[in-house]
Structure 1
Amino acid sequence: MLDYGRFEAIHKQQLEALDLPRALWKVLHKKIVQESFDIGEWVVFAEAEADNDDSNSCAAGITNSRLCLNKEELAALETVFLVDHAWTTSISQALSDLNNIPGLLERMERLTGVYESKNEAPQAFRAENVESTVTVNVPAVVSQTGVSEERARELLQRTGGDIVEAIMMANDETANGGGAGNNMPEHIQSQILQQLETSSEQNGKKPTKWATRSYECIQHSLDGGNELDGIEIRLPLAPGVQSGETKCAVLPSHLTVSIAGRTIIDGDLHAQVDTSISTWSIEDGVLCIALVKQKPEYWSEAIVGESRISPKLHQKHLLRVFRELWRYLQGYDYLAQGADQSISKRTNWYVQDEVGLAVAHCDDPNVRCLPFLYVNDHGQMMPYSILWPIKSITQGEPLSRDYCPRWLTDPIQRAAYLQAIFQGPTQGMLNAREQLVRKWNQIAADATRSTLAIQPTPTQHLRSLYVRDATSEVQSAITTAGYDLASTPEDADVVFDDIQHEGKLTCRHGINTALIDTDSAIATFQHVAGAQSWLSKGFSLRTQIAEFIGTALVDTNAWWLLTSAQTQPGVASPQILTSSWVAAVRHADVGYSTATECNLFTAVPDRLFLAEWIVLLTPDRGVYLWGESPRFIQHKLEMLDDSPAPYQALAPASAVSEDELKRSIANQLGSESFVEFTTKSEHAIADAVNLLLSAVSGPENKFGVFRFRFALEKGPDSMLPVLHEARTMTVAEQLSQSPNFIPAIAAVLSGRSSRTQWRQIGLE
């Protein structure tokens, strides 16, 4: 048990950040160690009144229940309550949790009102030869969707002969992405089933593998022969489930399975099994039950009365449930240390239990309810929500909290944020978008551009360099290039340091501040350039929520890249890629500050390709590109079927050669498009620097080194560059380049650079 002294020492910073009054700290400690969830002694559930269209009003709730005080009075700051979480997960784990944690999907279905169809998807009988299955099923797809035979065959080939999935894909195309979902009319399902039965008769095959919501079944021959004398039932286990929490009882005609105290299977087997040689084991997080049949024969079901599902349709159902859950999810972040000792910020998302969900929203709330991460004496983290009254509450009065983050005070942006929870009228967001578009267009029309140097940098007498934390390899390269190493900035002609040194030629150009001290370089460019063909749409999730939602409502197929403001040096936060504006808005709760439209290259849907240029800006406004630019990189995307997962943390970037990239998109665009892409990218860099120079002033004896990254967007007949990121390169990042990188910069500043190292652009 964690005593109070250690509790305060471990949690002091967190409790102060939550603004929990110190007088309640000991109360909280006592309730945690005693696991006292005593809020039920103070409140009762009450049915919500008729819906109020004004989601900003008091007592507007996300569920149909309200939590009302059941005692005469609860004074402000009188006590603090623990509120449990029904589910805690992460973006990468959520779908697996919904599929594997017993009872979780059903609980979340009840919460969201999104249910799987009662008409179970018919199980397709497959021929061993997929092509014959495709041929048999073409007429059914044509008759039910109206597509051509050629298109029906193509869809069936893409789905491996899965007729249900092919019909859904055809309906999705017809509805422009609306999709038939799992609401396929019963008469269509009946016709599909008849067609499948016909296929079964013609091919003489019956399914030996199928799935239910809880388990998978595989029939097989134990000795590799033709008799189906074995059947395996496989149940995935949720993370953290121990082997001792798994119980399995195999009787000749009955099977019972319980996991973590919850019964998963309790039913009669299709036929008898030999219990003396039937076994069960846990392998790689999966409970495997290997049953040996008493009589070798085909089983049409493993457990009598089981309901089968189509795994693909079930996966789509999980996505629908998770999509709706963003209304209810709340988040918190924490720091974690990786195997390489690096520190990164991670985010967990949670759904409160029925008590927490019944606390209504109010602009003028009477309680505060926030996540609290308790660390016990074994170092284990245990998440709760803590709730305490900030006003006196009288009997019968509903408990209410502010659903908006505490930093969000602007009325328009608050209303927009609540749109992600209550999903009311959207005209206000659409109007905000229109105003912003007009503003961007006006900025673009009025934008002024500076003049870049039209001649190489004039020769200067530079002899000594000071480079903070220079490696021995860089020091050797500097001396080999004919420069002296200065021991202090005062003794140097050129200073490579991230801090200002007055009167010295140093890498602290005025543009540095614009690209390093803001959450988003895209927002910086939009402020000075407005709408440009090479510029993505970017929005602040603190000040432009309404404009962002309005844009997302219009650009329904857009993907958004979410970036977190880096508040702690050396702590990395993963970028989030999502197609859901609701998920994007909710990420504002956990420090994600910008949403930038991300153009996925449809020719290769499982990759996000970027081209990176390193740019040098000299004091006389010369713009140079590093000779090794562009460098192509890729982010591998998590895929669900043939599409990127709609919510994912962006994987770390890896290098990709130009030849490999050309091969990846050879079927879409020719290799000559790379030349055009490079030319357009260079023009975009020159234009971007021009625009920034017109808006930013600074000392004339400064230079800057920057990294520009462009996404590859597919145009009608070529690749188009769209600015993805632009930021200042720190000296440490410059040192991570080749040892000759910094001496080559000095050569440009001296007016004696060769085109193989730095190449000037923007020349008239």
Structure 2
Amino acid sequence: MSAFDAFVTVHQYQLASIPKDLWEPLFMKLGDDYLDAGNAFELHYGDPLEGYTLHAKTNVEKNSNIFLVDHAWTTKPENAKKEIKAAPGLLDRLESLMDIEKEEVYDSDEEDEVEEDSNMVDIVAEQASVSRESAKKALVAEKYDLVNAIMRLTMTEEFKAESDRLQEQVMGQLIASGKAEEKDQRLQKEKEERRKTREKEVLERRVNRVYDQMWVYNQTYSYSVITADGATAVESVWYINDEVGSAITHSSEPNCVMVPFIFSRGNSATIPYSVIFPIKDIAEGEIVTRDFVPKDLKDSLDRKAYLMAYPGRLANDEEIGTEEEFIAAYQALVNVPHPDTKPAKSVNAMALLKTPTTQNVDIKVFTTAEFVRKNLTLPHITFTEDLESADIIWTVQDFTEWEKLSHGQRVSQVPNESCLTYKNNLAKLISHTYGPVSWCPQTYNLIDQLPAFVGDYLQRSHQVDNTDNLWITKPWNYARGMDISIATSLPQVIRQRETATPKITQEYIDKPLLYNDRKFDLRYIVLLHQTSPMVACVYNMFWIRLANKKYDKDNVDDYEKHFTVMNYSNYQMTQLHYQTFIQNIEKEHKLKWADVQKDINFAIKDVLSAACIQEQPIGLAGSETQYKPFAVYGFDVMVTADLKPKIIEVNFSPDCTRACSYDPDFVNNIFSVVDGRIGDIGKALDSFTVL
């Protein structure tokens, strides 16, 4: 096999998007790392857009050539700011590439100079009876101290002479004692410290500006990795093309294509490039364009919403959407009437749960949950490995063997419960049932609700009390705080649409109730006993997840200030018992936690009611089975500063190991309520609040 044939075999999937006639030229250029785009194209500044654009230096024919583009920087968003600071020259290069004016650090003496104030000059000239020029000189000499400038000009010659003599005498004594030198050293040290502080502040501002602007320029590709448990996962990386690639602008009728190309040199290295090839004839001087919009976005308004991520990089003004269009899309989403919402069936849940059943029956339990196996200590329980003979099945994995279940078996999953446990589905369920609600943050699916989100973002940007307009982005189906980030700009949120795992964006709760000045959220274990009629109860013991540092809305980069999930990271986790939390929060904020808890329970009930009302696939209703499903969910709740609960997410099959360490009867209580034949259901229900 020739080297070229081997190249085609290894890169066949990437080559599929490139005309076959260009494969061999690409192979030759990759082998030599031949970056020859400068022969065909040139950078223009301010023509026709602000900043840099790329233009044909000569006539370029369709599919006549292919050009390599280097990557200036490859990163992951969570590491980006650290990398910018650590890599010498990278910040300067990115500022130049993005046309960001570099902020300089000035010496303290220069900074201390006060700009001339015409009114001050006039006052000094009038009070001291001198010319404006003399007044100006006196103000400069006295660092624009008005009183000292006037005194300087009005002192008599005799007073000046005596003042100078005393000054010389004092300085002589200071020099002899060495205190003058000590003072100079102290002042110099203070000056250096002030400069270091300014350098750090300026660096932070520069890095933040580049980070915000990077979402206008970066591109992404995904790759597969093998996780620690042997599973396959997909990760995304972001990269910025070099000056040539970054100068290409958008057009829906582009004259070239640019795609990433990861070149494998066998065992030696893998080198990321981008490649450009013309798909139309490009005349000399013509601007070079490509289509920035993902192929799955077909609708005109969807495309315009996506292009809001690229301010200043659109070759055609007609493709820029209007604020009115996006706000109309937002209003259309949130103002849909919901006349078909029917109430959940009314039922005396407590009476139903306490319906007499035969006691002391031998119960077989099949489980894949280690915490169940270790903590289920009720009598008449036998563990079995035979799924079909089990009375109760508790599995922590997605259950798929529904056809093996028989009449009366209880299984710890409800068909289609992803309507609750996938964040995009939960948002759809709530919106479809109720519309906007106070107990759930406004949430958008970035795949199919982009125009509405942009409209909401733009509308909020005009609100005086919401100038930060912060949003949090999350994958649909990840837990443990994985791949969650706080977005500070519209382009950053929009570009999350391109990550390997689909995401939602949710309004960031920037005014949370604080515990000792720190953010917290609460994990509730909720048992959905049955769906029709709905019977559910909340475990009274809940878990507090506390941020490690005091909350600071202005510093969104500090994980320990803004996030509370510490037990799956390298951060220290604060353990706090719920009763201690209640006592302290009541004292700190002079509130009655029982009132807050009541609202939390109502919100949890509303979520489950929506699921039990709506037919599949939006909800859980419509699946009559001979077996009896139940479910245990982890509800994550935040509370706002004005004591309003916010349901953040619902978690599938939560790990209850920590719950068992706090309450040794936790598993026994759950099983006693699930199946009235086990244990003392009346005693077990004391640990729950029935919704």
Q: Distance in 2 between matches of 1:483 and 1:124?
A: 81
Deviations 1:140-192 (A, max 9, x none): 9xx9xxxxxxxxxxxxxxxxxxxxxxxxxxxxxxxxxxxxxxxxxxxxx9999
Partner letter of residue 458 of structure 2?
L
Per-residue CA deviation, residues 549-576 of structure 1 (Å, 9 max, x unaligned), is: 2212233434212112459xx9994111
Determine the structure 2 residue equivalent to 1:105: 91
- Cα 1:669/1:302, change in 2 over 3 Å: closer
CA contact (8 A) 2:476 2:503 kept: yes
SS in 2 for 1:616: strand
Which whole-Å deviations, capped at 9, do the CAs of 1:204-249 have from their partners, x for residues lacking one?
xxxxxxxxxxxxxxxxxxxxx99999xxxxxxxxxxxxxxxxxxxx
Change (3 A) 1:385 1:95: same
Judged with a 3 Å threshold, the aligned counterparts in structure 2 of structure 1 residues 636 and 122 are, in CA distance, closer, same or farther, namely same
Do the aligned residues in 1 keep the contact of 2:441 with 2:647 (CA within 8 Å)? yes
Return the match for 2:557 from 645, 661, 671.
645
Tell me, in whole angstroms, the C-alpha distance in 1 between the residues paired with 2:516 and 2:96: 34
Checking the alignment, whether the CA contact within 8 Å between 2:519 and 2:563 is kept in structure 1 is no
Does residue 320 (structure 1) correspond to residue 209 (structure 2)? The answer is yes
Q: 2:273 maps to which residue?
A: 384
CA contact under 8 A between 1:122 and 1:193: conserved in structure 2?
A: no
Distance in 1, Cα, partners of 2:5 & 2:552: 48
Structure-1 residue corresponding to 2:420 = 515
Q: CA deviation at 1:651?
A: 7.3
Q: 1:669 aligns with which of 589, 592, 596?
A: 589
1:91 aligned partner, one-letter code: P
Asked if structure 1 preserves the Cα contact closer than 8 Å seen for 2:335 and 2:435, the reply is: no
Instruction: Indicate the residue corresponding to 1:36 in structure 2.
Output: 34
Aligned to 1:585: 494
1:610-651, Cα deviation, whole Å (9 max, x unpaired): 111121112354544453632111355798896333999967
Contact 1:709/1:726 (CA < 8 Å) preserved in 2? yes
Q: 1:708 to 1:590 in 2, by over 3 A?
A: same
Whole-angstrom CA distance in 2 between matches of 1:301 and 1:373: 51
Out of 616, 621, 630, the residue aligned to residue 527 of structure 2 is 616
Residues 1:643 and 1:735: Cα distance change in structure 2 (over 3 Å): closer
The one-character-per-residue Cα deviations of 1:262-314 (angstroms, maximum 9, x if unpaired) are: xxxxxxxxxxxxxxxxxxxxxxxxxxxxxxxxx999769999xx999453354
Provide, for residues 49-75 of structure 1, a one-character-per-residue CA deviation record: whole Å limited to 9, x for no partner: 645xxxxxxxxxx84423327345232
Q: C-alpha distance in 2, partners of 1:664/1:111?
A: 52
Secondary structure at the aligned position of 1:644 is classed as coil
RMSD value, Cα: 4.7
Residue 299 of structure 2 is matched in structure 1 by 410
Show the counterpart of 1:367.
Answer: 256
Counterpart Cα distance in 1 of 2:141 and 2:78: 38
Letter in 1 for 2:76: S
Amino acid at match of 1:447: T
Q: Does 1:348 align with 2:237?
A: yes
Correspondences of 1:44-123 after superposition (within 5 Å): 44-45=42-43, 50=48, 63-68=51-56, 70-75=58-63, 80-116=66-102, 120=106, 122=108
Q: Which amino acid aligns with 2:368?
A: D
The residue number in structure 2 matching 1:725 is: 649
User: Where does the alignment leave 5 or more consecutive residues of structure 1 unmatched?
Assistant: 52-61, 126-136, 144-188, 199-224, 230-294
1:482 paired residue among 354, 372, 380:
380
1:557, 1:508 → 2: CA distance? 41
In structure 1, distance between residues paired with 2:435 and 2:362: 42
- Give the residue type in structure 2 aligned to 1:627: Y
CA deviation after TM superposition for structure 1 residue 693, in Å: 1.0
Task: Choose from 476, 481, 493 the match for 2:391.
Answer: 493
**Which residue identity is paired with 2:652?**
T
Give how far 1:748 is off: 1.6
Residue 506 of structure 2 aligns to a residue whose secondary structure is: strand
Q: How far apart, CA to CA, are the structure 1 residues paired with 2:109 and 2:584?
A: 36
Aligned-partner residue type, residue 508 of structure 2: C
Change in Cα spacing, 1:628 to 1:83, as seen in structure 2 (3 Å) is farther
- In structure 2, the partner of 1:705 is 632
Alpha carbons of 1:755 and 1:383: their partners in 2 closer, same or farther (altered >3 Å)? farther
Give the Cα separation in 1 of the matches to 2:55 and 2:563: 39
Within 5 Å, which residues of 2 pair with 1:146-225?
none
Counterpart amino acid of residue 343 in structure 2: R
Q: Secondary structure at the match of 1:327?
A: helix
Q: Is the 8 A contact 1:83 1:387 kept in 2?
A: yes
Partner AA of 1:89 in structure 2: T
Partner of 1:487, secondary structure, is coil
How far, CA to CA, are the matches of 1:414 and 1:44 in structure 2?
A: 29
2:559 & 2:17 partners in 1: Cα distance? 32
Q: CA deviation at 1:584?
A: 0.9
Cα 1:646–1:412 shift into 2, 3 Å: farther
Contact 1:639 1:645 in 2 (8 A): no
405, 409, 431: which is aligned to 2:328?
431
The separation in 2 between residues aligned to 1:628 and 1:190, in whole angstroms, is 70
1:741 CA displacement: 5.6
Count matched residues. 583
3-state SS of paired residue (1:92)? helix
- Displacement after TM superposition at 1:361 (Å): 1.1
Change (3 A) 1:509 1:95: closer
Give % identity.
21
2:143, 2:200 → 1: CA distance?
17
C-alpha contact 2:72 2:242 (8 A) present in aligned 1: yes
- What secondary structure, in the 3-state scheme, does the structure 2 residue paired with 1:36 have? coil
CA gap 1:747/1:226 in 2 versus in 1, 3 angstroms: farther
| Partner AA of 1:68 in structure 2 | A
Counterpart of 2:673?
Answer: 748
Q: Is the 8 A contact 1:121 1:310 kept in 2?
A: no
**Partner AA of 1:422 in structure 2:** P
In 1, Cα distance between the equivalents of 2:225 and 2:237?
12
Residues 365 and 381, structure 2, Cα contact 8 Å, conserved in 1: no
Would you say the 8 A contact 1:67–1:358 is kept in 2? no
- CA contact under 8 A between 1:563 and 1:574: conserved in structure 2? yes
Taking the aligned partners of 2:83 and 2:535, their CA distance within structure 1 comes to: 51
CA distance in 2, matches of 1:340, 1:191: 71
Q: CA deviation at 1:536?
A: 1.1
Rounded Cα–Cα distance in structure 2 between residues aligned with 1:25 and 1:546: 39
- Point out the structure with max Rg over C-alpha: 2
Greater strand fraction, Structure 1 or Structure 2: 1
1:728–1:362 CA distance, 2 compared to 1 (3 A) = same
Report the counterpart of residue 400 of structure 1 in structure 2. 289
The change in CA–CA distance for 1:535 and 1:375 in structure 2 (over 3 A counts) is same
- Give 5+ residue unaligned stretches, structure 2: 118-138, 149-177, 313-319, 461-466, 568-572, 616-620
Distance 1:311 1:669, change over 3 A: same
1:467 maps to: 366
Offset at residue 602 of structure 1 (A):
6.6
State the Cα distance separating 1:44 from its structure 2 match: 3.8
- Is contact 1:536-1:722 (8 Å) kept? yes
Paired with 2:4 and 2:53, the residues of 1 have a C-alpha distance of 36
Query: Cα–Cα, structure 1 residues 518 and 91, in superposed 2: closer, same or farther, change >3 Å?
Result: closer
Q: Please say if residues 545 and 565 of structure 2, whose CA atoms lie closer than 8 Å, have aligned partners that are also in contact.
A: no
Name which of 465, 471, 478 aligns with 1:560. 471
The Cα of 1:605 is off from its aligned counterpart by: 10
Aligned-partner Cα distance in 1 for 2:341–2:55 = 55
Q: 1:668 to 1:342 in 2, by over 3 A?
A: farther
